[in-house]
Amino acid sequence: MTSTRTNPSRIPLIICEDDLELRAILVAGLAHFGIDTRGVGDGVALAAAIEEQRPSVIVLDIGLPGEDGRSIARRLSSANGPALGIILLTARGALEDRIDGMKAGADAYFVKPVDLRELACAVQNLHRRVCPPVDPVSPEGAYSLDALHSTLALPTGERIPLTATELRVLQLLALNPGEVVERADLLRNLHQPVDPPAMQRLETHISRLRGKIRQIQGAEPLPIQASHGIGYTFLAPLRLQS
């Protein structure tokens, strides 16, 4: 890779998929999430696209003509390490296939048909790892989410330990500042079924998180607003730390 990234807020992505129809769907669909996606059909075209403009994330179909996606992932991972996010996309969902994909250097493994919202979330997460924010200073009154240490920093400076579920909920809320995130999307991000029992468990997790904050901040509540029957919104600035 020879070129450099100049705008860390932009998400440059290359999808290597030989199925023309699926490639067009993925390129157009991810554009709705603010992801600047380029589609190519094989490893040769992928290499040329990488030389033209360095991506932060690559989505690879495993069953490509010529060099297969797993081999490409292994080579790119060896050359770039954590400086490149790699997602494998395939019709093969057996456990051994997923393990082989991860051993090849993939950061994530999706089985077709893939949900565009879930794929976009994975791309955004990997992009933040590859291109962390230049300015680490939080605005006054902001909350800060540290995924590495699973903590939430309050505007007052205290750090609250988070469970894995609480962290994933807050990550998705942070990706949609000021917007209602539907309960179904939160549950999918938690790899939970979208059914009444799971929704009840989600409410319990958020209630417990509010309780943690209340113990520290007293009367100052955690700014998660519930939209009855729809989802949740984080109303204050929430910064994602790398």
164-174 residue pLDDT tens: 899 999 999 98
Question: Which pLDDT does position 240 carry in this prediction?
Answer: 84
SS3 152: strand
Residue 239 CA, chain-centre distance (Å), reads: 15
pTM of the complete model beyond 0.75 = no
Distance CA(62)–CA(199), nearest Å, equals: 35
Distance CA(109)–CA(68), nearest Å, equals: 15
CB neighbourhood size of 25 (10 A) = 16
| pLDDT over 80 (residue 217) | no
Instruction: Look at 8-12, 66-70, 210-214 and tell me which has the smallest mean pLDDT.
Output: 8-12
Structural domains of the chain, ranges and CATH numbers in brackets: 11-130 (3.40.50.2300), 143-241 (1.10.10.10)
Q: What is the pLDDT of residues 11-41, one digit of tens each?
A: 889 999 999 999 999 999 998 888 889 999 9
Instruction: Indicate the DSSP class of residue 60.
Output: E
- Residues paired with 61 in a beta bridge: 89
Q: Label residue 197 by pLDDT band (50, 70, 90).
A: very high
Kind and range of the H or E element at 184?
Answer: helix 183-189
Distance CA(57)–CA(12), nearest Å, equals: 7
Q: Which residue is listed with tokens 């190519």?
A: 40
